[in-house]
Structure 1
Amino acid sequence: MSFYLHQQPVEGDSYVRCHQVVIDNRMGAAPSVTFHRERVLTGGAAMRQPLSPTPMPFDPTAEIPLIDPETGQPTGETITHADIYAAVYSAFIAAETPAPAEGDAV
């Protein structure tokens, strides 16, 4: 028989969520994305358990069905990896570009 330190029964729900997304955009290599996941156990205090990461190589023409994050249901729309890349690139440019000072011409 094994001894389990601080063993307690756990009640509640369990689900997997992505808690971090890492984009690798190295010079001279195809971009890739790694989704870092965790299992969340709810009921009383929430507990989180790290899970193995899920890699996704970049394929500009690959389509991803869009899922409504509130309902988990498909929206019927798709987006390509190239579209996501353009959106992330645009977000980087926006973050790196200072907003015009109030009163400056745009």
Structure 2
Amino acid sequence: MDKQVSLMNLMLKMTENVPDAAVQTITYKRQAHKRKRADLLAALPAEEVHHELGDKYCPDCHHELIEIGKQSVRQELLFIPAQLKRLDHIQHAYKCKYCSQRNYSDKIIKA
């Protein structure tokens, strides 16, 4: 038992002789933020894929539809070995001029 007490006293004396840890000031530069997805996509060559209606006639009155607009639906990456390009999907929207005049409301059909 005396040996255990003396061992404990020895450990306490050793820790008293150790100086306090010095405070270190670390200075470093952080990496710049990674580029956003839009920035990466903007740099790639683009190819548009248009989604249009095959039959451009109103399903109700069978008159011809006119195109009233289009919108970009999504962008996807197409990986071809040693080549990378962006596909822009464009969705076309149509309306029937005849139905719009007759019903006072636009019936919009998207491809």
TM-score in same-fold range (> 0.5): no
Q: Which fold has the larger relative contact order, with Cα–Cα distance below 8 Å and residues 6 or more apart in sequence?
A: 2
Q: Give the number of the structure whose residues are more often helix, by fraction.
A: 2
Q: Please tell me whether Structure 1 or Structure 2 has the larger radius of gyration of its CA atoms.
A: 2
Normalising by structure 1, we get a TM-score of 0.29
Normalising by structure 2, we get a TM-score of 0.28
